[in-house]
Structure 1
């Protein structure tokens, strides 16, 4: 059993005598399995302590690059500021680059700036596009590890994905809407799904899970998708209005909003005399909390943003060899939040 520690240190850590430790290390007879396990555990603990001591005082700079509406970027920043003081042993500094809309060239340009100034790692929430995937490979080749949060780049060289199971979230939304609707529907009855961008892998996965289960459970309903509103009110309103103006559209009975801008969606639906019986949204920003309390949103699907960001930073610490092991699990679970969970204090 190889080790860099004096026998007396291992004995002190394990609570065994130096003679017992010596017998274990030299694989002699008359040693119980329990003593061997205690010596192995003590060596592992000493190795972890050595890592902490060597990392103490190190300052690491991690970049957080996000394409999202301001309301969600604000939640990410608040979560990051909450978890960073709880993460050791190194001192972590986060540098933020938030954009509400970010094209592939814009994203590549920001990542090139990060390469130029240097970074210990990058947390990305961006679209799944070939140019960005190529840039992630370049970052990794230059020793800058990348971790994806909330939405993945599955074909890239990223080190980990930290976020919810988006496919399962879409299935949960379909399950809730199906349960809220009557058994029979009028001709042309429609379920509306809205996304900020189909190029976000997470939203595409949510849509896949939703459409698959909904088409199985309710083949009598039409399914209509509106995308490319970037989760912003004006942009979402413009693309949705074009769909609602189409002739022959039946009543919209349910809405699954994956990308936000829910107040704008609800107001526009009302102006066209659509009053959905079920409305499932994502995230608990201030707008969604209000709409939940008012009863306009039936259920909000919420994941633990702070936990996702913590796992992202732990994954980067592991990539920098500060931690001995990565997080045990990096995929968070969704919870369903009802109006009763958002009562005003």
Structure 2
């Protein structure tokens, strides 16, 4: 090795801190883990040694030494929703990383559109779980199930869709009203000078993310683009067959239909109906989530813009938040903030 070659970084240990502070290993352990029984002067000496050596605890090693591990349940939607399939894949990848941190993930698929089914799944979860991440339905029974988990000491993180009045620990997802406002601004700009109707298709208005998106969309479109009149919100339950029927009926009933905003899923159905009608190039269509299907629709011009959230970031963030809570460690709010992405055909990754 030459003199200029990079030297390996040697991580300071508790033994190094003990030697530098001139105290026993047991004393350092007490100070680092914030346990009582150490004089203030000694605490100050140990903390000075920690700062000087740049000591950082190896949390995973400490959990291993104590025989400590955590198990989390990720409750995700059943069905063929492409974004949720992608999210499941990202949770599976996150599980591989988390295993090295002494944390383990089980994935449960349920019908999140049915409050009784979702609440029942939460109510019957094994007591072996210390934390739960769930695509939440903002419904009284689901909120009660979340509250019951919290009362048992189980940390609950809502993922993608929130239930803010429940006793959840943290919400991992985008600012949905802002996402809806962003979609409305794009729609208004794309349709500058146009007059007519705009349709909004949600999966379910019981899902708070869909409700908040359509609220933000209406907020901007009605105040800044008065020539564009929004139709009553339709619910497609994120099902492609159902959204195909809804979209075909819209196109048949409204000759002045200028735009479609889908704040949920079921995009394959919308694409089929638009292309079958021959009006795909005259109706502006904006939707959510970059998937293999929406990418294809965007490239061929059927779809005009995608509002996206990073499923991988969300899966990792939910796992980090649960692990940090169970370990008594802080989280970094900036790291856990999920940004809103906008994709056009010209900037696809």
- Which TM-score band (shorter chain)? 0.7 to 0.9
Partner of 1:91: 102
* Paired residues for 1:161-200 under 5 Å: 161-183=171-193, 185-186=194-195, 189-200=196-207
Change over 3 Å in CA distance of 1:262–1:163 after alignment to 2 = same
- Equivalent pair of 2:18/2:46 in contact (CA under 8 Å): no
SS in 2 for 1:26: helix
Say whether residues 1:218 and 2:225 are aligned partners: yes
Matched with 1:65 is 75
Change in CA separation of 1:11 and 1:58 when aligned onto 2, cut-off 3 Å: closer
Unaligned runs of 5+ in 1: 1-7
Give the match for residue 333 of structure 2. Answer: 328
Structure 1 contact 108–131 (Cα < 8 Å) conserved: yes
Distance in 2 separating the partners of 1:324 and 1:10: 19
Report the count of equivalent residues: 319
Correspondence 1:266 to 2:271: yes
* Residue ranges of structure 2 left out of the alignment (5+ in a row): 1-11, 29-38
SS in 1 for 2:241: helix
Counterpart contact for 1:191–1:222, Cα < 8 Å? yes
In structure 2, the residue matched to 1:257 is 262
1:307 shift after superposition: 1.1
Q: Who is 1:235 aligned against?
A: 242
Partner of 2:63: 55
Deviation at 1:236, TM superposition (A): 2.1
Cα shift readout 1:238-260 (whole Å, capped 9, x = no counterpart):
444555554xx342212211112
Verify the 8 A CA contact 2:274 2:302 in the aligned structure 1. Answer: no
CA contact (8 A) 1:69 1:230 kept: no
Work out the CA distance in 2 between the residues paired with 1:326 and 1:105: 33
2:90 is matched with which residue: 41, 62, 79?
79
Stretch of structure 1 that moved more, 197-206 or 226-235: 226-235
State which of 93, 106, 121 in structure 2 corresponds to 1:110: 121
How far apart are residue 221 of structure 1 and its match?
A: 1.1
**Of the candidates 21, 37, 41, which is equivalent to residue 26 of structure 1?**
41
Distance in 1 of aligned mates of 2:149 and 2:328: 21
Q: 1:225-274 CA deviation, whole Å, 9 max, x = no partner?
A: 4432111112223444555554xx34221221111222311332455564
For 2:6, the equivalent position in structure 1 comes to none
Check whether the contact 1:121–1:145 (CA below 8 A) recurs between aligned residues: yes
Deviations 1:44-103 (A, max 9, x none): 945x34x44331254322111123642222111211122333347632322112235541
State how far apart, in whole Å, the 2-side matches of 1:67 and 1:10 are.
Answer: 45
| Shift in CA distance, 14/342, structure 1 to aligned 2, threshold 3 Å | farther
Q: Which residue of 2 aligns with 1:289?
A: 295
Higher relative contact order (CA 8 A, sep 6+): 1
Normalising to structure 2: TM-score of the pair?
A: 0.80
Q: Is the 8 A contact 2:110 2:117 kept in 1?
A: no
Which secondary structure state, in structure 2, belongs to the residue aligned with residue 164 of structure 1?
coil
Residue of structure 2 in register with 1:4 after alignment: none
Structure 2: distance between partners of 1:182 and 1:104: 41
Deviation track 1:132-178 (CA, whole Å, cap 9, x = no partner) reads 00010101111211101111110000000011111111111111111
C-alpha displacement of 1:37: 8.4
Q: CA RMSD in A?
A: 3.3
Q: CA deviation at 1:282?
A: 0.9
Residues in 2 aligned to 1:142 and 1:42: alpha-carbon distance in whole angstroms: 41
Paired residue secondary structure (1:324): coil
* Deviation digits for residues 271-320 of structure 1 (CA, Å, limit 9, x no counterpart): 55644442211111111111111111111111211111111111111221
CA 142–43 in structure 1, closer or farther in 2 if over 3 Å, else same: farther
In the alignment, the residues of structure 1 paired with residue 233 and residue 278 of structure 2 have an alpha-carbon distance, to the nearest angstrom, of 18
CA distance in 2, matches of 1:37, 1:61: 33
How far apart, CA to CA, are the structure 1 residues paired with 2:246 and 2:185?
A: 26
Per the alignment, in what secondary structure is the counterpart of residue 236 of structure 2? coil
